[in-house]
Each structure stands twice: as C-alpha cells, then as structure tokens.
Amino acid sequence: QKVSVEVLDHLEHLALVDFRDSEGVERLQKAIQFADQLQEVNTDGVEPMDSVLEDRWCLYLREDDVTEGNCTKELLENAREKLEEYFVAPPGNIPLPKLEERETFLQGC
C-alpha cells in the first residue's frame, strides 16, 4: 500500500530533506517494498543484534577526564557564520511551515 501524504510530510519534517519529485517518492515506495522481504524470515526467539562485538568487553566507558580540547580556533575555522566564539544560527524555535504553506513537491500529492 502507498505511503500517505501525511507520513511523507512527517518524514520531510523529521529528516529535514525533501523528496523533491515523484521519483523521490517512488524511491521510498520501492525501498519499503524491498524491505518487506524481511517478513519472510522466521525470527522467533531471536534477540536483535546491536553490535558484532557484543561478546567482547570493548564497548566500555572511560574515566571522565579531560584529555584533549582547547581547539576553539580550529573548530571555528570551518564555520561560515560565527561571532567571537559562537556559531551563529538563525532564530530557533520556529517550526517548519505546514504542508500548505511550504514550497514542497508534496503539495501536489
């Protein structure tokens, strides 16, 4: 079954990337179809696997000691907009416009 426009819109909001055109939406549909093949596999009683290294004690927490840092200058170098030691961002807490008000391909769906 096809993905609803509401879900597509929701995805655009979550991912902050756009589908751009019908090809983009088709791509998602095909991806879902492809992934549905997983349902053929019997996974009763199988635990999900997070990491292939789960048997080894390597995913550890280290001591909370400062071992490096003081590289403010290097880190700011790659930012386009900055002021003193701050990254400058446009005003926050403003949600993306709703579907009807946004310039998006999904408007036509």
Partner 1 sequence: VSAALKEGRVTPTELCQRCLVLIKSTKFLNAYITVAEETALKQAEESEERYKRGQPLGTLDGIPIAVKDNFNTAGIETTCASNMLKGYISPYNATVVQKLLDHGAVLLGKTNLDEFAMGSGSTDGVFGPVRNPWSYSKQYKEKSVPKSLSEDKESDWVITGGSSGGSAAAVSSFTCFAALGSDTGGSTRNPAAHCGVVGLKPTYGLISRHGLIPLVNSMDVPGILTRCVDDAAVLLGSLAGHDPKDSTTIQDDFKPFELPNLTDVSKLSIGIPKEYHAPGLSSEILALWSKAADLFKNAGAKVVEVSLPHTRYSIVCYHVLCTAEVASNMARFDGLEYGHRSDMKDSTESMYAATRREGFNDVVRGRILSGNYFLLKQNYEKYFVKAQKVRRLIANDFLKVFMSGVDVLLTPTTLSDAAPYTEFIQEDNRTRSAQDDILTQAANMAGLPAINVPTALSERGLPVGLQFIGRSFQEKQLLTVAKWFEKQVQFPVIELEEVKRHDNGVFQHQKSASFS
In the bound complex, what is the minimum distance in angstroms from residue 69's beta carbon to partner 1? 13
In the bound complex, what is the minimum distance in angstroms from residue 32's beta carbon to partner 1? 7
Q: Which helix (H) or strand (E) holds 12?
A: helix 5-15
User: Which parts of this chain interact with partner 1 (CB under 8 A)?
Assistant: 3, 7, 10-12, 14-20, 23-24, 27-28, 30-32, 34-35, 37-41, 43, 46-53, 56-60, 62, 71, 74-75, 77-81, 87, 89-92, 94-97
Using CA atoms, how far residue 4 sits from 1, 13, 103, 106, in Å, is 9, 14, 18, 10
In the bound complex, what is the minimum distance in angstroms from residue 104's beta carbon to partner 1? 10
What burial class does residue 48 get, using C-beta atoms within 10 Å of its C-beta: 0-12 exposed, 13-18 middle, 19+ buried? exposed
In the bound complex, what is the minimum distance in angstroms from residue 4's beta carbon to partner 1? 12
Q: What is the DSSP letter of 55?
A: T
The residue (of 55 and 108) whose beta carbon lies closer to partner 1 is 55
The residue (of 49 and 108) whose beta carbon lies closer to partner 1 is 49
